[in-house]
Amino acid sequence: MATKGKDAQSPLPDPQAQSESTAALLRELVAHLRQNRTQLREEWARRITRAQLLTAMTEEEIFAEATSVYDNYVEALETGTFEALQAYARNLSERIIPRGVETHEVVGIVLLLRDVLARSLFAKYHEDFTKLNRILDAYEPAANRIANTVAVGFVQERERIIRQQQEAIRELSTPVLQVRERLLILPIIGVIDPQRARQLTEQLLRAIRTNRAKVVVIDITGVAAMDSNVANHLVQTVEASRLLGATVIVTGLSPEIAQTLVTIGVDLSEMATVGDLQGGIEEAERLLGYKVLPLEEVAPKV
Amino acid sequence: MEVPILKQGHYLIASIQSALTDADLSQLREALIERVGRFRARGVIVDVTALDVMDSFAVRTLRDIAHMARLRGAETVIVGIQPEVAFAMVQLGLTLKGVSTALDLEEGLLFLDHQAQLRIERGTGRIDRG
């Protein structure tokens, strides 16, 4: 009973003392890594090349990056703060993502560094197994956290770039063009999701206002598939345009889309549809009172 | 706030200047329908440029105005719906079916002139005697 009580009181060594000893071990570790900086760094760079990681970069570049990653790594181990490393990882990702470096390569090199350093620790403490164990206890969590930080930083940067590009593509993919006084065309290409449908409608409504458009031709030749959601978005766009006093003509419904719409029973009776873009523009011109004639019919013959 | 109703030739123009309560809207409806008869108006323009919100009651009242005015022999056109308002209305399913709309006051007047022209051509409209 007495033993049990004693166990409950101090199942582990005093946490304060333990963290102190961890700190002391980490200090020792950092000193070791600083001392062997040149040799370990070279070993690491060699192993990166051998594993055929970072093939997009030259050997000198790999060595230069390896040096700064190494120093940041050791610094993170020493201070236990990851902000500097995080910033460095973001900065590094920003530089290497445009060169086509993949996620597995970044994770790979950080794991390689972890292994290289662990090996050097084995070599240094192989005579004192208890000490080695304690050193690894201190080293492993920190090293794993570093690997995690760098990998997450890389992926986040990648996602940020992808988001940015998506935004750019969206902006680019919805031009509203004026073909004649008071006649706009809106060619839609690609997939329409609710967000894009909303953006399309807003852009179109603004354009109707600024160009004082009376007729709008929406061409959906480039829309591959349509479901009831997309069709409803289209109906809403047409309705909203009408509220601003503009007539909408939809052109370029493919046979497949026409069949789908009829099969799923979407009501497009409110919508003016014309087979192709040319027909749509001709219809729009008729509504606006234009008539296109060959030159010789207009100009008196010489 | 009472909405001023101007007479311009054969047309009545109601220009809404600020957000209206339901009572104001009903009052506008009654005033317009009464004046269509009094001034023998052929057209009614309701300008909603100043509105940045349109609820279901407002939309219904506008629709009622259009239908009632038609029964009294005048064509109605709603002008100046803001892009954001149009978008919100469509999202809420308030689409003013059967009511004419135009971009702004100028377009609305052109639209009514055009309608009058058509009526005379079809021979169903009243002939303008000055």
**pLDDT reported for residue A6:** 44
Q: Chain-wide mean pLDDT for chain B?
A: 88
CB atoms within 10 A of CB A270: 12
Domain chopping of chain B, boundaries? 5-122
pLDDT at residue A2 is higher than 70: no
pLDDT at residue B125 is higher than 60: no
Q: How confident is the model at residue A302 (pLDDT cuts 50, 70, 90)?
A: low
**pLDDT reported for residue A9:** 46
Q: How confident is the model at residue A225 (pLDDT cuts 50, 70, 90)?
A: confident
pLDDT at residue A269 is higher than 80: no
pLDDT in tens, A88-142: 888 888 888 888 888 888 888 888 888 888 888 888 888 888 888 888 888 888 8
**Do the Cβ atoms of A98 and A69 come closer than 8 Å?**
no
Q: Which residue has the higher pLDDT, B104 or A146?
A: B104
* Contact with chain A for residue B91, Cβ under 8 A: yes
Name, in order, each residue with C-beta under 8 angstroms of A218's C-beta and a sequence gap of 6 or more: A185, A186, A188, A204, A234, A237, A238, A248, A249, A250, A251
pLDDT in tens, B37-84: 899 899 999 999 999 989 999 999 999 999 999 888 899 999 999 999
Give mean pLDDT, residues A1-14: 46
B103/A208 Cβ within 8 A: yes
**A129-172 and A83-96 helices cross at what angle (nearest 10)?**
50
Strand partners for B14: B5, B46
Provide ipTM, 2 decimals. Answer: 0.72
Phi, psi of A252 (to 5 degrees): 80, 25
**pLDDT reported for residue A4:** 45
Distance CA A130, CA A132 (A): 5
A212/B87 Cβ within 8 A: no
pLDDT in tens, A37-74: 888 888 888 888 888 887 778 888 888 888 888 888 88
* Contact with chain A for residue B76, Cβ under 8 A: no
Q: How confident is the model at residue A147 (pLDDT cuts 50, 70, 90)?
A: confident
**pLDDT reported for residue A17:** 59
pLDDT at residue B128 is higher than 60: no
B positions 5-34 inside 8 Å of A (CB): none
pLDDT at residue A262 is higher than 50: yes
Has this prediction a pTM greater than 0.80?
no
pLDDT at residue A208 is higher than 70: yes
pLDDT at residue A297 is higher than 70: yes
Distance CA A240, CA A248 (A): 10
Q: To the nearest whole angstrom, how far is the Cα of B114 from the nearest Cα of chain A?
A: 13
Distance CA B71, CA A35 (A): 97
Contacts of B98 in chain A (CB under 8 A): none
**In chain A, % of residues over pLDDT 70:** 91
* Contact with chain B for residue A244, Cβ under 8 A: yes
**pLDDT reported for residue B127:** 47
Pick the CATH number of B5-122 from 1.10.3720.10, 3.90.870.10, 3.40.50.460, 3.30.750.24: 3.30.750.24
Q: How confident is the model at residue A20 (pLDDT cuts 50, 70, 90)?
A: low
**In chain B, % of residues over pLDDT 90:** 66
**Do the Cβ atoms of A214 and A242 come closer than 8 Å?**
no
Residue A243 has its nearest CB partner, among B89, B107, B111, at B89
Strand partners for A76: none
pLDDT at residue A256 is higher than 70: yes
- Amino acid identity of A265? G
